[in-house]
């Protein structure tokens, strides 16, 4: 099972990376962007997906400052990530 | 008086810390994979980039076998000093409160900073007078201290000198019991007039004095 | 019909028809795919130095302190007490232009490996950077920001201090940035090791990272025919630096040497296994059998040629006696570093590459390492002078009618705020200069970094190279760089022991570039001879050309020296009010090639002011001895921006003013590098120095330290605060 | 529109962070984990989601070393990220 862990900075904690992106985008001509946050994406193949929350609490995230969300993707793939970026919705 | 300085893969300032300890006592390196603390009287978790700082600074190192012994040592009241990466490791390990986040500038910064001694009553700062200022280098990419709950602050960056956006200018904190202390600046790089200031020596001298009086008691 | 004409593979790999014909002639057959990939890299400019090797022979390489000279992974000089100091500078220009963070990071990683490959523990890094005009070019700002971050990332994470460097911005680097890194390492002399493989039957062991399709670069054309649409994963990839892996590899390599488990050691750099293995074989006059199937891979399905040319980082190759392989693996396991026997030393004199039970390559070592043709250059001095090659810089200061020209004080403020002269703090603040507890002088404290040694003595190191001045006048400009390095060492009391160089030039097949290269090497060689400083190593980076022309010819010189007492070293900051200020040395500067000429947009001109070697050397000696005697409060060489800028730098560093009368006939902004100094000290001390060296080097008292402004009587009067702010803001605004 | 950009190291490229995590997990007693990659998660509110690919190419990602995937989540939310981690599948 391929699993993704989406880690974002906890609400209310200063996120300078997100701010930097938010400041830089209008300078490149991208308007109408708000609320930018930058976090971490961890992708892994696991035999037992029920272990993932424990992995998150122990190692993958710091619960004091980060929230996370676990998303299971394809069943046990060794997939080629798209060679070209895809737009999924 | 014997200090033990932990060496993780990726530690960088462990020999510097050892040299600093040796100015006030004996010091040995403690290998990350060994649980044996070799009977040391105090432990230093040094600076550097343990495990490359990958994932989060200190996140992987806290699981090294030696850290189980360090945690045990701390629970029994042993003195544990965490410097920079060592501070990050101690926070990740829950031996100190709070977390160290990426610098507000998002850059690594080296800077000689002035630190105000907020609490000169700890075993790590007893050689300082209250309100002393220490000139010590800082160098890190993740030194922005954050804690949702009130903490026992030991050192603050002098006004206007906060290099990383740390909450309330916090540079160093202790645990409630007072036997575990972590700071982002590097006192081991301020022990020799040839290479900078000597203000950092006060931290090591304080530890020696605390340990000596304990042994005597 | 020649073999070459029949087969086009070699052209895509960068070999000429003539070179290919030569290969076929030597082999008496056509090379196979893997063989051709290996040969094309070994016969590349980067590995074979085919356009520079003959010229490099001009450089003096011998001296009493030399323990290892050019030809080894790093040169080594004797610093006393049984210690050797290894050092080398290397370029990573092209990878940095493509991906500046990783390019610069892996540049540092590569030069560190060269240093620990000779058994030395890396103790310092310096960086030498060139970008386009950051004030005008967003691309250059991007490259600067990320290259600096990359250097810091690698050096900081691996625990080696970055103690110095240099940085210039010129239009000529807009398309071809330069990222050169230098590393110094320290070794007990008995731990020094050479790369020569020896002992048929000994085992070849690959240490460190997995091998992936990193930096396969040009050779990937061999695979391109097989690239289907869905084969994106087979494309070569950008090299990613892993300083954590290298830290373990470094500790592990040094422990293997301390335990005397290795016969020889070699890093893997450009051209990967091919280059490392064939150079080890060549140096030891042996053969090597390598089994690709045993090379641990990061990706499935790699072809033998990919394995042989992969530039995956953080790998080393060593030769081990068979009975010690187990011990080697045990040490490596402790350091969580992979160690894999991949072949053995033979007496065949051939490189035989096995894969899938077949022989993928079978080449005489000599054809790989020695037989690439060396070319003579056809130098041609451009008839129109330097401005025939380079367009004038864009002006950033008004010129022309008298009232448009800024007052001298404003000129000085503009100079110290200009990108080339402004404070480098925003850069070096991103580097750790103190780890390892040796750093006696950090950046901005003195003209050279000073590191203490366990012997109680110290070493000094500086890196320099002003390409615009070399473009004006290659021979004198290149010589000036050597003198400037030596002058920087003198400011901290250091006496030169040796130097390393990186020759960054354009396309040597063009007459004017060939001329620049020839002249510059002549200038360096003559300076080395005059100063008695041997060249112990270096690197050459050619073809730095854009459609608009070549980069400024940029020889970068890194020089190391020795001083007896780290407690008596120099500072550049003025120290105390009432100290006397003097110029040491014959100083006859000119506006040619100066920073002010650049700010005014003047075309490049020749010649630079004449360089009197004996006068310069006498000035260096006078300052060095005075610093060593502890007689001075400050010492600073007069470099870019002239004496006004040098004085401003001493004032800003000390936070104190000065009142000075510039001697008649000296333009305060005119330049002559490497020849003269501004010193300060007590009146008695300066008088004593003047007395001691009168015959050899003139000492001209010009004023006193004090007050809160820099006053050049009759010329300018500027508050130190204003100078300090201008100098601080110049680069900070761009980074 | 809230958009997430999932950025991962390009296939085949060295991913030292992923390797470090992969090596650390078994030591914590989590077995059966493979193919770990660590990337970045960027979350942002955009008025015009069709601009996001251009933002990715221009600023949010480094196409030389990273691949990305765009995921649109809730329509224009200013949501509280779950206070407690959620397990979605
Ligand atoms: N400009 C130069 N001056 C002196 N020696 C040089 C110069 N360029 C290269 N060398 C020497 O040639 C040898 C090969 O250099 P290089 O290919 O860069 O080595 P490596 O593969 O170890 O990085 C080295 O010993 C190097 O010191
Ligand atoms: Mg080498």
Model confidence at C237, in pLDDT bands (50, 70, 90)? confident
Long-range contact set of residues D28-32: C-beta below 8 Å, sequence gap at least 24: D28/A55, D28/A58, D28/A59, D28/B63, D30/A51, D30/A54, D30/A55, D31/A47, D32/A46, D32/A47, D32/A48
Cα dihedral sign, D30-D34-D40-D43 = negative
pLDDT at position C36, please?
94
CA angle, C242 as apex, C240 and C247 as ends, to 5°?
A: 155
Catalytic residue among C51, C92, C620, C636: C92
The CA–CA distances, whole Å, from C226 to A3, C67, C235, C532 equal 33, 49, 11, 56
CA angle, C145 as apex, C139 and C150 as ends, to 5°?
A: 120
Q: How many CA atoms within 13 Å lie on the side-chain side of C18?
A: 5
Identify the H or E element spanning C363. Answer: strand C358-364
**What is the bridge-based pairing of β-strands D66-72 and C315-320?**
unpaired
CA angle, C504 as apex, C503 and C506 as ends, to 5°?
A: 125
In angstroms, the separation between the Cα of residue B212 and the nearest Cα of chain C is 27
Mean pLDDT of chain C: 94
Q: Does C25 have pLDDT greater than 90?
A: yes
Q: Does C1 have pLDDT greater than 50?
A: no
Q: Please identify which residue in the block is written with the tokens 């506006």.
A: C591
For residues C256 and C243, give the distance between their C-alpha atoms in angstroms, rounded to a whole number: 19
Q: Phi then psi for C266, rounded to 5 degrees? A: -150, 140
For residues D27 and D20, give the distance between their C-alpha atoms in angstroms, rounded to a whole number: 11
pLDDT at position C694, please?
75
Reported ipTM = 0.92
| Cα C254 to ligand 2 centroid, rounded to whole Å | 16
Instruction: Tell me if B24 sits within 8 A of B208, measured CB to CB.
Output: yes
Report field, pTM of the whole predicted structure over 0.90: yes
Instruction: Tell me if C134 sits within 8 A of C169, measured CB to CB.
Output: yes
The CA–CA distances, whole Å, from C637 to C404, C564, C572, C660, C713 equal 31, 21, 9, 16, 21
Kindly state the greatest CA–CA separation across chain B: 47
For residues C214 and C239, give the distance between their C-alpha atoms in angstroms, rounded to a whole number: 5
Q: Per-residue pLDDT tens, chain B, 217 aa: give them.
A: 899 999 999 999 999 999 999 999 999 999 999 999 999 999 999 999 999 999 999 999 999 999 999 999 999 999 999 999 999 999 999 999 999 999 999 999 999 999 999 999 999 999 999 889 999 999 999 999 999 999 999 999 999 999 999 999 999 999 999 999 999 999 999 999 999 999 999 999 999 999 988 766 5
For residues C308 and C213, give the distance between their C-alpha atoms in angstroms, rounded to a whole number: 10
Model confidence at C222, in pLDDT bands (50, 70, 90)? low
Q: Rounded to 10 degrees, what is the CA torsion of B200, B202, B203, B206?
A: 170
**Per residue in D18-52, pLDDT tens?**
999 999 999 899 999 999 999 999 999 999 999 99
For residues A3 and D83, give the distance between their C-alpha atoms in angstroms, rounded to a whole number: 21
**Per residue in C435-492, pLDDT tens?**
999 999 999 999 999 999 999 999 999 999 999 999 999 999 999 999 999 999 999 9
Q: Please identify which residue in the block is written with the tokens 């330049």.
A: C671
Q: Which two tokens stand for residue C543?
A: 């073809």
Q: Which two tokens stand for residue C103?
A: 């390019």
**Per residue in C409-444, pLDDT tens?**
999 999 999 999 999 999 999 999 999 999 999 999
SS3 at position C507: coil
Model confidence at C68, in pLDDT bands (50, 70, 90)? very high
CB-count exposure of residue D84 (10 Å: 0-12, 13-18, 19+): exposed
CB-count exposure of residue B56 (10 Å: 0-12, 13-18, 19+): buried
B54 to D20: CB separation less than 8 angstroms, yes or no: yes
For residues C72 and C77, give the distance between their C-alpha atoms in angstroms, rounded to a whole number: 13
Q: What is the 3-state secondary structure (H, E, C) of C107-163?
A: HHHHHHHHHHHCCCEEEEEEEEEEECCCCCCHHHHHHHHHHHHHHHHHHHHHCCCEE
pLDDT at position C235, please?
57
Model confidence at C232, in pLDDT bands (50, 70, 90)? very low
C209 to D10: CB separation less than 8 angstroms, yes or no: no
Neighbours of chain C (3+ CB pairs under 8 A): A, B, D
Q: Which residues of D touch B55 (CB under 8 A)?
A: 17, 20-21, 24, 38
**Residue A41: which of D41, D59, D60 has the nearest Cβ?**
D41
Q: Please identify which residue in the block is written with the tokens 């984990």.
A: D33
Closest CA to B94 of B176, B8, B2: B176
3-state DSSP helix/strand/coil percent for chain D, to nearest 5?
25, 35, 35
Residues with CB under 5 A from ligand 2 (ion): C 73, 114, 267
**Per residue in C299-343, pLDDT tens?**
988 999 999 999 999 999 999 999 999 999 999 999 999 999 999
Tell me whether residue B84 is one of the annotated catalytic residues. Answer: yes
**Per residue in A23-50, pLDDT tens?**
999 999 999 999 999 999 999 999 999 9
pLDDT at position C400, please?
66
Model confidence at D10, in pLDDT bands (50, 70, 90)? very high
Q: Which two tokens stand for residue C90?
A: 């290397």
Residues framing ligand 1 (Cβ under 6 A): C 56, 59, 70-73, 88, 90, 114, 269, 501, 503, 535, 537-540
For residues C457 and C451, give the distance between their C-alpha atoms in angstroms, rounded to a whole number: 9
**What is the bridge-based pairing of β-strands B42-45 and B79-83?**
parallel
| Cα B60 to ligand 2 centroid, rounded to whole Å | 32
Instruction: Tell me if C525 sits within 8 A of C52, measured CB to CB.
Output: no
Q: Which two tokens stand for residue D89?
A: 């599948």
Atom number, ligand 1, closest to the C-alpha of residue C114: 22
Q: Outline where DSSP puts E strands in C525-669.
A: 535-541, 545-546, 549-550, 554-563, 580-584, 634-637, 658-660
For residues C231 and C208, give the distance between their C-alpha atoms in angstroms, rounded to a whole number: 28
pLDDT at position C219, please?
57
CA angle, C162 as apex, C161 and C167 as ends, to 5°?
A: 175
Q: Does D85 have pLDDT greater than 80?
A: no
CA angle, C567 as apex, C536 and C727 as ends, to 5°?
A: 75
For residues A14 and B165, give the distance between their C-alpha atoms in angstroms, rounded to a whole number: 9
**Residue A46: which of D32, D47, D83 has the nearest Cβ?**
D32
For residues C19 and C7, give the distance between their C-alpha atoms in angstroms, rounded to a whole number: 13
Mark C531-570 as b/e (b = at least 16 C-beta within 10 Å): bebbbbbbbbbbbbbeeebbbbbbbbbbbbbbbbebebbb
For residues C118 and C135, give the distance between their C-alpha atoms in angstroms, rounded to a whole number: 41
pLDDT at position D9, please?
95
**Per residue in C513-538, pLDDT tens?**
999 999 999 999 999 999 999 999 99
Q: Which two tokens stand for residue A43?
A: 């992708």
SS3 at position A26: helix
Between B and D, how many CB-CB pairs are < 8 A? 21
Tell me whether residue C92 is one of the annotated catalytic residues. Answer: yes
Top mutation candidate among C61, C90, C538 for ligand 1, by most atoms within 8 Å of CB: C538
- Among C139, C228, C231, C232, most A C-beta atoms within 10 A, so best to mutate, is C232
Q: Which two tokens stand for residue B157?
A: 């960056």
Atom number, ligand 1, closest to the C-alpha of residue C502: 1
Neighbours of chain D (3+ CB pairs under 8 A): A, B, C
Helices (H), strands (E): how many in chain B? 4, 11
Top mutation candidate among C313, C537, C541 for ligand 1, by most atoms within 8 Å of CB: C537
For residues C219 and B191, give the distance between their C-alpha atoms in angstroms, rounded to a whole number: 52
In angstroms, the separation between the Cα of residue C3 and the nearest Cα of chain D is 36
In angstroms, the separation between the Cα of residue A32 and the nearest Cα of chain B is 24
D38 to B52: CB separation less than 8 angstroms, yes or no: no
The CA–CA distances, whole Å, from B125 to B79, B152, D17, D58 equal 12, 13, 37, 50
Closest CA to D38 of D56, D55, D13, D73: D13
**Residue D71: which of A10, A30, A88 has the nearest Cβ?**
A88
Model confidence at C3, in pLDDT bands (50, 70, 90)? low
Q: Does D14 touch chain C (CB under 8 A)?
A: yes
Across the range C27-38, mean pLDDT stands at: 94
pLDDT at position A76, please?
46
pLDDT at position C218, please?
57
| Higher per-residue confidence, B3 vs C6 | B3
Q: Which two tokens stand for residue C708?
A: 């809160």
DSSP structure string for C596-614: HHHHTTPPP-SPPPP--HH
Model confidence at C32, in pLDDT bands (50, 70, 90)? very high
């Amino acid at each position: 099972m391929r699993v993704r862990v989406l880690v974002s900075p906890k609400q209310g904690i200063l996120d300078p990376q997100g701010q930097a992106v938010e400041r830089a985008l209008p300078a490149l001509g991208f308007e109408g962007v708000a609320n930018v946050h930058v976090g971490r994406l961890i992708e892994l193949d696991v035999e037992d997906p029920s272990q993932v929350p424990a992995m998150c609490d122990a190692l993958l995230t710091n619960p004091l400052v980060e929230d996370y969300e676990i998303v299971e993707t394809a069943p046990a793939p060794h997939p080629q990530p798209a060679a070209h970026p895809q737009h999924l919705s | 008086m014997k200090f033990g300085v932990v060496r993780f893969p990726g530690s960088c300032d462990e020999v510097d810390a050892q040299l600093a300890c040796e100015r006030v006592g004996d010091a040995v390196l403690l290998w990350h994979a060994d649980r044996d603390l070799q009977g040391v009287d105090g432990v230093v978790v040094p600076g550097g980039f343990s495990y490359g700082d990958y994932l989060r600074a200190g996140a992987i190192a806290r699981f090294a076998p030696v850290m189980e012994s360090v945690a045990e040592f701390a629970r029994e009241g042993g003195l544990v000093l965490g410097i920079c990466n060592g501070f990050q490791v101690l926070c990740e390990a829950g031996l100190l409160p709070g977390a160290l986040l990426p610098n507000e500038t998002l850059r690594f910064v080296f800077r000689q900073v002035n630190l105000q001694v907020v609490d000169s009553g700890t075993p790590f700062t007893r050689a300082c007078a209250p309100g002393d200022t220490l000139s010590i280098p800082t160098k890190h990419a993740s030194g922005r201290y954050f804690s949702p709950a009130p903490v026992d602050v030991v050192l603050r960056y002098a006004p206007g000198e906060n290099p990383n956006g740390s909450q309330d200018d916090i540079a160093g904190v202790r645990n409630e019991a007072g036997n575990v202390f972590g700071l982002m600046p590097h006192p081991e790089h301020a022990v020799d007039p040839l290479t900078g200031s000597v203000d950092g020596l006060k931290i090591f001298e304080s530890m020696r004095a605390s340990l000596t009086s304990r042994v005597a008691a | 019909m020649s073999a070459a004409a029949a087969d086009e593979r070699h052209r895509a790999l960068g070999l000429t028809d003539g070179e290919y014909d030569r290969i076929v002639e030597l082999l008496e057959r056509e090379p196979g795919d893997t063989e051709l990939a290996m040969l094309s890299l070994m016969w590349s400019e980067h590995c074979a130095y085919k356009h520079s090797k003959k010229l490099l022979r001009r450089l003096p390489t011998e001296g009493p302190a030399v323990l290892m000279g050019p030809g080894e992974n790093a040169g080594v000089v004797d610093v006393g007490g049984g210690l050797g100091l290894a050092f080398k500078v290397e370029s990573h220009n092209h990878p940095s232009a493509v991906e500046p963070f990783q390019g610069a990071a892996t540049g540092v990683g590569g030069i560190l490996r060269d240093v620990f490959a000779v058994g030395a523990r890396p103790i310092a890094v310096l960086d030498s950077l060139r970008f386009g005009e950051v004030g005008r070019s967003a691309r250059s700002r991007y490259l600067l920001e990320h290259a600096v971050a990359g250097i810091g990332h690698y050096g900081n994470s691996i625990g080696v201090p970055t103690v110095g460097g240099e940085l210039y911005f010129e239009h000529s680097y807009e398309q071809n940035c330069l990222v050169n890194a230098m590393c110094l390492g320290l070794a007990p002399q008995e731990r020094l090791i050479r790369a020569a493989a020896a002992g048929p039957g000994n085992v070849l062991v690959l240490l460190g990272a997995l091998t992936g399709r990193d930096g396969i670069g040009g050779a990937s054309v061999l695979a391109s025919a097989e690239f289907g649409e869905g084969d994106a994963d087979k494309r070569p990839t950008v090299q990613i630096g892993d300083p954590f892996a290298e830290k373990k590899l470094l500790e592990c390599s040094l422990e293997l040497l301390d335990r005397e488990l290795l016969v020889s050691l070699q890093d893997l750099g450009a051209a990967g296994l091919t280059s490392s293995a064939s150079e080890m074989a060549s140096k030891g006059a042996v053969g090597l059998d390598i089994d690709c199937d045993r090379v641990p891979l990061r990706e499935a399905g790699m072809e033998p040629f990919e394995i042989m040319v992969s530039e995956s980082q953080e790998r080393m190759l060593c030769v081990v006696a068979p009975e010690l392989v187990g011990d080697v693996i045990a040490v490596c396991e402790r350091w969580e570093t992979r160690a894999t026997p991949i072949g053995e030393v033979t007496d065949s004199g051939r490189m035989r590459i096995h894969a899938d039970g077949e022989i993928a390559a079978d080449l005489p070592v000599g054809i790989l390492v020695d037989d690439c043709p060396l070319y003579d250059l056809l130098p041609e001095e451009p008839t129109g002078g330097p401005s025939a090659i380079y367009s004038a810089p864009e002006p950033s200061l008004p010129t022309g009618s008298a009232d448009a020209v800024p007052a001298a004080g404003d000129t000085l403020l503009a100079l110290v705020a200009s990108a080339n002269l402004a404070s480098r703090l925003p850069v070096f603040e991103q580097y750790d200069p103190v780890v390892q507890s040796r750093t006696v002088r950090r950046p901005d404290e003195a003209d050279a970094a000073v590191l203490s040694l366990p012997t109680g003595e110290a070493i000094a190191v500086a890196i320099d190279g002003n390409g615009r001045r070399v473009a004006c006048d290659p021979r004198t400009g290149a010589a000036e760089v050597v003198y400037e390095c030596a002058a920087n060492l003198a400011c901290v009391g250091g006496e030169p022991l040796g130097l390393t160089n990186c020759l960054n030039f354009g396309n040597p097949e063009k007459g004017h570039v060939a001329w620049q290269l020839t002249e510059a090497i002549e200038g360096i060689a003559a300076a080395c001879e005059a100063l008695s400083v041997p060249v112990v190593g270096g690197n050459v980076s050619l073809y730095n050309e854009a459609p608009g022309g070549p980069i400024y010819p940029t020889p970068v010189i890194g020089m190391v020296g020795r001083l007896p007492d780290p407690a008596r070293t120099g500072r550049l900051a003025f120290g105390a009010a009432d100290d006397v200020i003097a110029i040491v040395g014959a100083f006859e500067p000119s506006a040619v090639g100066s920073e002010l000429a650049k700010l005014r947009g003047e075309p490049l001109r020749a010649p630079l002011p004449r360089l009197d070697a004996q006068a310069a050397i006498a000035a260096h000696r006078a300052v060095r001895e005075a610093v060593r005697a502890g007689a001075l409060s400050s010492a600073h060489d007069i470099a870019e921006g002239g004496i006004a800028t040098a004085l401003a730098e001493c004032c800003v560093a000390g936070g104190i003013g000065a009142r000075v009368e510039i001697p008649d006939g000296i333009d305060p902004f005119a330049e002559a590098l490497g020849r003269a100094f501004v010193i300060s000290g007590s009146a008695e001390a300066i008088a004593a120095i003047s007395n001691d060296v009168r015959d050899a080097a003139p000492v001209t008292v010009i004023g006193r330290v004090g007050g809160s402004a820099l006053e050049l009587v009759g010329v300018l009067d500027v508050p130190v605060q204003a100078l300090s702010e201008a100098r601080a803001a110049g680069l900070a605004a761009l980074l």
